[in-house]
Amino acid sequence: MSSSPPSPNPPASSEVRRALDSRLTRYLETTIEALGTIDRGGVARVIECIDVAYQADQRVLVFGNGGSATTAAHLAEDLATYAIPFSEPKRLQVLSLSDSPSVITAIGNDLSFDEVFAEQVQQWARPGDVVIAMSGSGNSPNILSGIDRAKKIGCTTVGLSGFDGGKLRARVDIALHVDVAAMQNAQDGHMVIVHLIIEGFRALVRGELGGLRP
């Protein structure tokens, strides 16, 4: 007689459940503490810079590696679609430089991975544009190279970082630093910053601040 196969989802023991609950609670507490370090004044400055770019037909370029690449894409998508009413003919010129694997692999192959963002900044950025870089550590060479190129062109530079901010924090015009020594919690903070930027810019564009404009 053959025995029945084991259940694909065996019930967790009470000890495992307690350990998981404790681990998840610590994670949430760390993230909540990290969110408290977000500089709302700095976020407001970024919103104002984006709004100025919007009014002047300037561009906003965003980029990051790995998880930060998806956060950058999220910001670009929301700025392009959610923030501005589809009935509004004037749109924000926004581009995520992390989104084209063909461009990134071409530059990485022909030059080096350190230049994948700098070369795209060189192609797209103009003086007065806003360039936003995201890096948990703040030390990724390609992120720093992209920001350095943007500064040479004359762009306003913004950096989202975690841990101690790394080199990025000191190189940008506006540093949005999430003070936490854990990558996932830092990226949680960055996503909240992205949504704060969208909330503020959306309110400005839609006249939800009593008609006020910076």
Q: Dump pLDDT digits (tens) for 37-54.
A: 999 999 999 999 999 999
Cα angle 88-93-98, degrees, rounded to a multiple of 5:
135
pLDDT category of residue 13 using cuts at 50, 70 and 90: confident
Cα angle 77-140-146, degrees, rounded to a multiple of 5:
60
With respect to residue 212, please indicate whether it lies within any of the assigned structural domains: no
Provide φ and ψ at 203, rounded to 5°.
Answer: -65, -40
pLDDT tens-place string over residues 179-209: 999 999 999 999 999 999 999 999 999 988 8
With respect to residue 161, please indicate whether it lies within any of the assigned structural domains: yes
How far, in whole angstroms, is CA 149 from its chain's centroid? 19
- The CATH number of whichever domain residue 134 belongs to comes to 3.40.50.10490
Closest CA to 136 of 115, 113, 165, 116: 165
Specify the pTM.
0.91
Q: How many CB atoms lie within 10 A of CB 151?
A: 16
With respect to residue 149, please indicate whether it lies within any of the assigned structural domains: yes
| Structural domain for 139, as ranges | 14-205
**Considering the chain, what percentage of its residues have pLDDT values greater than 70?**
93
Which residues, 6 or more positions from 81, have their beta carbon under 8 angstroms from its beta carbon?
A: none
With respect to residue 153, please indicate whether it lies within any of the assigned structural domains: yes
Counted domains in the chain: 1
